[in-house]
Amino acid sequence: MRESCPWFMPQDEARSMIQLIEAKICTSEIEVRHRDALVRLRSVLEEQIGIEPPVVVAIEPPVAAAA
């Protein structure tokens, strides 16, 4: 267990929790503030068990050129 982590979750349980969090994040029924909290929790769990967080790339729509 790490010194900086005041709690501990076994790796297999953390992986299961991350999968549940991912499923909930992907639903359209979730409020933005709850989604943000789940994303942060997922990040903490991934850090705890040493998983590199997924890279999220925002794709912006093309900007129309001024005529």
Q: How is residue 19 written in tokens?
A: 């999968």
In this structure, what DSSP letter does residue 50 have?
Answer: T
Q: pLDDT > 90: what percent of the chain?
A: 21
- The answer on pLDDT for 30 being more than 50 is yes
Do 22 and 42 contact (CB within 8 A), yes or no? yes
Q: What is the mean pLDDT of the chain?
A: 78
Q: What is the mean pLDDT of residues 27-40?
A: 89
